[in-house]
Amino acid sequence: MELIQAGNGGMSDTMEMLTGTAIQGLNILGSLFLFVLGILAAAVIILFLIDITQTKDTVRRNYPVIGRFRGVFSKLGEFFRQYFFAMDREEMPFNRAQRDYINDVCDDGHETVPFGSTKVLSPGTAIFANGLFPKLEGEHTPKPAFIIGPNTPNPYAPKSLFNISAMSYGSLSKPAVEALSLGAGMAGCWLNTGEGGVAPYHLEGECDVVYQLGTGKFGARKDDMTLDSDKLAKLCENPYIKMIEIKLSQGAKPGKGGILPAEKVTAEIAAIRGIKEGEAAISPNRHVEASNPAELLDLIDKVRKASKRPTGIKFVVGNITPIRELFKEIKTRGLASAPDFITLDSGDGGTGAAPQPLMDNMGLSIREGLPLIDDMLREEGLREHIALIASGKLATPEDVAWAFCVGADFVNAARGFMFALGCIQALKCDENTCPTGITTHNKRLQRGLDPTNKAVRVMNYCKTIQKEVEMMAHSCGVDHPRDLTREHLMVVQASGRSKPFSQTWDRSRYV
């Protein structure tokens, strides 16, 4: 009995200890809760006082603390719309259907979908007219090599119809440029450097390189932003540089020079561009030595002689009067003065950061600009002497095939290849906070972008686009995408019926 009583006494003591510990724990939790509650209350009071006394934000002043949620929800709205609410073909600038297509072909070349199209045939939609007797495999007659700049010391015969458009090192990160260069080398396409000059990373993949000379002439400039012919000649000793593209304007900001924020101008980028570290790189609105057609042709001649490379110009179509004057000046001087190629960009934006009024409202889209310039070149008898390269939101096979139908010899893409690099359209390109490491110089964010892995995706994307555009051309009954004509391109009308592009394109309104 004494043992039992002793045992009961021990258990009682243990229970009392446990109870005491539990009570003590609850007291600590209660105190901690009150402490956290006090901090939250203090924070609310502080935010309340800040909001009610500030004068910059009306909503926060009228609705202290609560008004802050408007900004939070606005930011979260981008995320929720992209992943939960927007339909597959609703988003801008590229919808989910387009992004998923590119992602699928980049991963494994997968290009088929089941159970019918989800494409809405709204007015203006392009439809391609298939032939009744498409050729069998092996019946297609190969096209001879297309030569750009046949009269230059180093003519260029591109191997790919579809190529990588202008994206600078600086705007893009080191691993992004490395992946593009490696992928271009594997795919056999060219890589345009963008206006930031030739970086060593452009050359790593031993691909064909188009050196773009923007209005700042980075890499080949004098202090007054005029051309330094000696620097250009030295750069062009590199055999991988195949052409020179003189950029007059770009789709993101027609009529305004390039912008690289100061935080992106590292010591390396400053050295490549020939500018000061930590200062924003602002290019002039035009080439300082080219204020009229005659001076532009002088600049083209100077660049071509120094580089010994085919030399062309890039611009967005807007006011056609100076373009017509340029073509007339070429006719006056002779065909030898003509640019070897013209790259046309689209006024509906691009990879570059830009003021919204220019991004949204300046310049014709490629849908108008390309057929217009093709017509103007033919009218002046220049079309056979100047290659025409289309650029600007042409990222899918139907976009590329459309361009060949209305006059393109080659097609460039930028944003399509950004998707191949892993872009998720986070729209943070100008903030140095790109979550996929493509447009940031933050080493932690760049770490997620493996150039060797993404190079394979770049190659898959390029080769698949080219293969599918060729497939579309064969379905139309022609041998090659360059054999496509405006008769092969049907445009859906408001009535729901479609007409050939040749009947819907109204050239007269531009005369």
Task: Give dist(CA 442, CA 316) in Å, integer.
Answer: 32
> Tokens in use for 201?
């990373």
Digit-by-digit pLDDT tens for the chain (511 residues) are: 444 444 555 556 666 666 767 677 677 787 888 888 889 999 889 988 998 888 877 778 888 888 887 777 666 666 566 655 555 555 656 666 777 777 777 777 666 666 566 677 888 889 999 999 888 888 888 888 999 999 999 999 999 999 999 999 988 899 999 999 999 999 999 999 999 999 999 999 999 999 999 999 999 999 889 999 999 999 999 999 999 999 999 877 777 887 777 877 888 888 998 888 888 888 899 999 999 999 999 999 999 999 999 999 999 999 999 999 999 999 999 999 999 999 999 987 666 666 777 766 788 999 999 999 999 999 999 999 999 999 988 989 999 999 999 999 999 999 889 888 888 777 777 677 788 888 887 888 888 888 999 999 999 999 999 999 999 999 999 999 999 999 999 999 999 899 999 999 987 766 6
Task: Give dist(CA 154, CA 148) in Å, integer.
Answer: 9
For 459-491, the three-class secondary structure string (H helix, E strand, C coil) is: HHHHHHHHHHHHHHHHHCCCCCHHHCCCCCEEE
Task: Give dist(CA 136, CA 215) in Å, integer.
Answer: 49
Q: Would you state the pLDDT for residue 305?
A: 97
Q: What are phi and psi of 173, to 5 degrees?
A: -80, 170
Give residue limits of the domains in the chain.
Answer: 2-62, 160-425+453-505
Task: Give dist(CA 307, CA 151) in Å, integer.
Answer: 13
Q: Please state the CATH superfamily assignment of the domain spanning residues 160-425+453-505 in this structure.
A: Aldolase class I (3.20.20.70)
Task: Give dist(CA 488, CA 502) in Å, integer.
Answer: 9
- Contact call for residues 41 and 34 (beta carbons, < 8 A): no
